[in-house]
Amino acid sequence: MIDLYTSTTPNGWKASITLEELALPYETHYIRLGEGDQKKPEYLKINPNGRIPTIVDRDEDNFAVFESGAIMIYLAEKAGRLLPTEKKKRSQVIQWLMFQMGGVGPMQGQANVFFRYFPEKIPSVIARYQNETKRLYTVLDTRLADREYLVDDYSIADIAHWAWVRIHYWAGVDVDNLPNLKRWMDIMAARPACQKGVVVPEPFNPEDSLIMAKKIVITK
Protein backbone atom coordinates (compact mmCIF):
# COMPACT_ATOMS: atom_id res chain seq x y z
CA MET A 1 0.00 0.00 0.00
CA ILE A 2 1.20 3.49 -0.90
CA ASP A 3 0.36 6.58 1.14
CA LEU A 4 0.10 9.58 -1.20
CA TYR A 5 0.43 13.04 0.31
CA THR A 6 -0.74 15.49 -2.30
CA SER A 7 -2.77 18.49 -3.36
CA THR A 8 -4.57 19.70 -6.48
CA THR A 9 -1.54 20.73 -8.53
CA PRO A 10 0.25 19.45 -11.64
CA ASN A 11 3.03 17.88 -9.58
CA GLY A 12 0.45 16.15 -7.44
CA TRP A 13 -1.31 14.86 -10.55
CA LYS A 14 1.95 13.37 -11.81
CA ALA A 15 1.98 11.04 -8.81
CA SER A 16 -1.74 10.21 -8.74
CA ILE A 17 -1.95 9.51 -12.48
CA THR A 18 1.09 7.24 -12.24
CA LEU A 19 -0.49 5.32 -9.38
CA GLU A 20 -3.71 4.97 -11.34
CA GLU A 21 -1.93 3.79 -14.48
CA LEU A 22 0.02 1.19 -12.53
CA ALA A 23 -3.07 0.10 -10.58
CA LEU A 24 -1.13 0.26 -7.33
CA PRO A 25 -3.28 0.48 -4.22
CA TYR A 26 -2.91 3.82 -2.45
CA GLU A 27 -4.46 6.00 0.21
CA THR A 28 -4.69 9.74 -0.35
CA HIS A 29 -3.78 12.29 2.30
CA TYR A 30 -4.85 15.82 1.34
CA ILE A 31 -2.13 18.39 2.05
CA ARG A 32 -3.83 21.77 2.25
CA LEU A 33 -1.16 24.11 0.98
CA GLY A 34 -3.03 27.29 1.85
CA GLU A 35 -3.28 26.12 5.46
CA GLY A 36 0.41 25.27 5.68
CA ASP A 37 0.06 21.50 6.09
CA GLN A 38 3.27 21.06 4.08
CA LYS A 39 5.27 22.92 6.74
CA LYS A 40 4.10 20.94 9.74
CA PRO A 41 6.82 18.97 11.59
CA GLU A 42 5.22 15.59 10.94
CA TYR A 43 5.17 16.24 7.20
CA LEU A 44 8.71 17.61 7.10
CA LYS A 45 9.88 14.29 8.51
CA ILE A 46 8.95 12.61 5.21
CA ASN A 47 9.58 15.59 2.93
CA PRO A 48 12.25 17.98 4.24
CA ASN A 49 11.53 20.44 1.42
CA GLY A 50 7.96 20.99 2.57
CA ARG A 51 6.38 20.53 -0.85
CA ILE A 52 4.05 18.02 -2.49
CA PRO A 53 3.78 15.25 -3.50
CA THR A 54 5.31 12.66 -1.20
CA ILE A 55 4.71 8.94 -1.02
CA VAL A 56 5.35 6.42 1.73
CA ASP A 57 5.61 2.78 0.70
CA ARG A 58 4.24 0.72 3.58
CA ASP A 59 5.48 -2.49 1.96
CA GLU A 60 9.08 -1.24 2.13
CA ASP A 61 9.35 -0.37 5.81
CA ASN A 62 7.51 2.94 5.28
CA PHE A 63 10.08 4.15 2.79
CA ALA A 64 9.42 7.80 1.89
CA VAL A 65 10.02 9.35 -1.54
CA PHE A 66 9.68 13.05 -2.30
CA GLU A 67 10.06 15.03 -5.56
CA SER A 68 7.47 14.17 -8.20
CA GLY A 69 9.90 12.85 -10.79
CA ALA A 70 11.64 10.62 -8.25
CA ILE A 71 8.23 9.31 -7.18
CA MET A 72 7.33 8.46 -10.77
CA ILE A 73 10.57 6.56 -11.31
CA TYR A 74 10.19 4.71 -8.01
CA LEU A 75 6.64 3.64 -8.78
CA ALA A 76 7.43 2.63 -12.37
CA GLU A 77 10.33 0.49 -11.17
CA LYS A 78 8.20 -1.02 -8.41
CA ALA A 79 5.52 -2.07 -10.89
CA GLY A 80 7.81 -2.82 -13.83
CA ARG A 81 5.87 -0.59 -16.21
CA LEU A 82 5.97 2.91 -17.78
CA LEU A 83 9.79 2.99 -17.75
CA PRO A 84 11.69 0.85 -20.26
CA THR A 85 14.41 -1.52 -19.13
CA GLU A 86 16.39 -1.23 -22.38
CA LYS A 87 19.08 1.33 -21.54
CA LYS A 88 18.67 3.70 -24.49
CA LYS A 89 14.88 3.85 -24.28
CA ARG A 90 15.11 4.23 -20.51
CA SER A 91 17.54 7.11 -20.96
CA GLN A 92 15.21 8.80 -23.43
CA VAL A 93 12.26 8.58 -21.05
CA ILE A 94 14.34 10.03 -18.23
CA GLN A 95 15.64 12.79 -20.53
CA TRP A 96 12.09 13.89 -21.35
CA LEU A 97 11.08 13.58 -17.70
CA MET A 98 13.96 15.92 -16.81
CA PHE A 99 12.86 18.26 -19.60
CA GLN A 100 9.55 18.64 -17.80
CA MET A 101 11.10 18.98 -14.36
CA GLY A 102 13.80 21.44 -15.41
CA GLY A 103 11.88 23.31 -18.10
CA VAL A 104 8.13 23.06 -18.54
CA GLY A 105 7.32 22.83 -14.83
CA PRO A 106 9.44 25.75 -13.58
CA MET A 107 8.66 28.05 -16.51
CA GLN A 108 4.91 27.37 -16.59
CA GLY A 109 4.84 27.52 -12.81
CA GLN A 110 6.30 31.02 -12.84
CA ALA A 111 3.93 32.01 -15.65
CA ASN A 112 1.08 30.84 -13.41
CA VAL A 113 2.36 32.89 -10.48
CA PHE A 114 2.91 36.17 -12.30
CA PHE A 115 -0.10 35.88 -14.63
CA ARG A 116 -2.64 34.72 -12.03
CA TYR A 117 -1.44 35.18 -8.48
CA PHE A 118 1.19 37.86 -7.98
CA PRO A 119 -0.33 41.06 -6.56
CA GLU A 120 1.63 43.29 -8.95
CA LYS A 121 1.23 42.75 -12.69
CA ILE A 122 4.62 43.13 -14.39
CA PRO A 123 4.09 42.73 -18.16
CA SER A 124 7.73 42.05 -19.04
CA VAL A 125 7.99 39.29 -16.44
CA ILE A 126 4.70 37.70 -17.49
CA ALA A 127 5.77 37.76 -21.14
CA ARG A 128 9.16 36.27 -20.26
CA TYR A 129 7.68 33.19 -18.63
CA GLN A 130 4.78 32.78 -21.04
CA ASN A 131 7.09 33.00 -24.06
CA GLU A 132 9.53 30.50 -22.62
CA THR A 133 6.70 28.12 -21.76
CA LYS A 134 5.42 28.40 -25.33
CA ARG A 135 8.92 27.74 -26.66
CA LEU A 136 9.12 24.56 -24.58
CA TYR A 137 5.69 23.53 -25.85
CA THR A 138 7.04 23.98 -29.38
CA VAL A 139 9.84 21.55 -28.60
CA LEU A 140 7.23 19.01 -27.51
CA ASP A 141 5.16 19.68 -30.63
CA THR A 142 8.17 19.00 -32.83
CA ARG A 143 8.99 15.82 -30.94
CA LEU A 144 5.43 14.56 -31.38
CA ALA A 145 5.29 15.23 -35.11
CA ASP A 146 6.03 11.62 -36.05
CA ARG A 147 5.10 9.65 -32.95
CA GLU A 148 2.10 9.05 -30.70
CA TYR A 149 3.99 9.44 -27.43
CA LEU A 150 7.21 11.17 -26.45
CA VAL A 151 9.32 8.01 -26.49
CA ASP A 152 7.29 5.73 -28.78
CA ASP A 153 5.54 3.78 -26.00
CA TYR A 154 3.49 5.48 -23.31
CA SER A 155 5.64 6.33 -20.29
CA ILE A 156 6.05 8.46 -17.19
CA ALA A 157 7.46 11.19 -19.46
CA ASP A 158 4.03 11.61 -21.08
CA ILE A 159 2.29 11.71 -17.71
CA ALA A 160 4.70 14.32 -16.36
CA HIS A 161 4.18 16.70 -19.27
CA TRP A 162 0.43 16.25 -19.61
CA ALA A 163 -0.13 17.06 -15.94
CA TRP A 164 1.24 20.52 -16.69
CA VAL A 165 0.29 21.16 -20.31
CA ARG A 166 -3.38 20.31 -19.68
CA ILE A 167 -3.78 23.61 -17.76
CA HIS A 168 -1.85 25.75 -20.24
CA TYR A 169 -4.70 28.27 -20.23
CA TRP A 170 -4.17 28.94 -16.52
CA ALA A 171 -0.73 30.31 -17.37
CA GLY A 172 -2.14 32.33 -20.28
CA VAL A 173 -0.37 30.21 -22.89
CA ASP A 174 -2.24 29.00 -25.98
CA VAL A 175 -1.62 25.83 -27.96
CA ASP A 176 -3.71 26.66 -31.03
CA ASN A 177 -0.77 26.53 -33.45
CA LEU A 178 0.69 23.33 -32.02
CA PRO A 179 -1.31 20.57 -33.75
CA ASN A 180 0.89 17.65 -32.68
CA LEU A 181 0.79 18.71 -29.06
CA LYS A 182 -2.99 19.13 -29.21
CA ARG A 183 -3.43 15.66 -30.74
CA TRP A 184 -1.29 14.15 -27.99
CA MET A 185 -3.22 16.09 -25.33
CA ASP A 186 -6.46 14.57 -26.62
CA ILE A 187 -4.98 11.07 -26.53
CA MET A 188 -3.82 11.60 -22.96
CA ALA A 189 -7.12 13.10 -21.82
CA ALA A 190 -8.96 10.01 -23.09
CA ARG A 191 -6.99 7.65 -20.86
CA PRO A 192 -9.09 6.48 -17.88
CA ALA A 193 -6.15 6.68 -15.48
CA CYS A 194 -5.48 10.27 -16.48
CA GLN A 195 -9.12 11.14 -15.92
CA LYS A 196 -9.05 9.55 -12.47
CA GLY A 197 -5.69 10.95 -11.46
CA VAL A 198 -6.55 14.60 -12.04
CA VAL A 199 -9.41 14.56 -9.55
CA VAL A 200 -7.10 13.45 -6.71
CA PRO A 201 -7.45 14.72 -4.03
CA GLU A 202 -10.26 16.79 -5.59
CA PRO A 203 -11.11 18.36 -8.98
CA PHE A 204 -9.29 21.53 -9.99
CA ASN A 205 -11.32 24.58 -9.01
CA PRO A 206 -9.97 27.88 -10.38
CA GLU A 207 -11.46 30.00 -7.61
CA ASP A 208 -10.07 27.76 -4.87
CA SER A 209 -6.72 27.71 -6.63
CA LEU A 210 -6.60 31.52 -6.66
CA ILE A 211 -7.38 31.75 -2.97
CA MET A 212 -4.85 29.08 -2.01
CA ALA A 213 -2.06 30.34 -4.25
CA LYS A 214 -2.42 33.95 -3.19
CA LYS A 215 -2.05 32.89 0.44
CA ILE A 216 1.19 31.13 -0.42
CA VAL A 217 2.58 33.82 -2.73
CA ILE A 218 1.77 36.70 -0.42
CA THR A 219 2.42 35.19 3.00
CA LYS A 220 5.07 32.50 2.59
Provide the CATH number for the domain around residue 110.
1.20.1050.10
Q: Is 138 in the same domain as 207?
A: no
Q: Which of 35-44, 142-151, 155-164, 207-216 has the lowest mean pLDDT?
A: 207-216
Amino acid at 105: G
Amino acid at 21: E
Task: Identify which of 30-39, 75-84, 108-117 has the greatest average pLDDT.
Answer: 75-84
Q: Is 28 in the same domain as 99?
A: no
Q: What is the pLDDT of residues 74-103, one digit of tens each?
A: 999 999 999 999 999 999 999 999 999 999
Cβ atoms of residues 31 and 38 within 8 Å: yes
Q: Is 52 in the same domain as 104?
A: no
Integer Cα distance of 46 and 42 in angstroms: 7
Q: What is the pLDDT of residue 220?
A: 47
Q: Which domain holds residue 46?
A: 2-81+200-219
Cβ atoms of residues 161 and 150 within 8 Å: yes
Q: Is 70 in the same domain as 101?
A: no
Q: Is 180 in the same domain as 103?
A: yes
Q: Kindly report whether the global pTM for this prediction surpasses the value 0.85.
A: yes
Q: Is 142 in the same domain as 205?
A: no
pLDDT category of residue 119 using cuts at 50, 70 and 90? confident
Q: Is 42 in the same domain as 73?
A: yes
Q: How many CA atoms lie within 13 A of 146 on its CB side?
A: 0
Q: What is the pLDDT of residue 210?
A: 57
Q: What is the pLDDT of residue 202?
A: 82
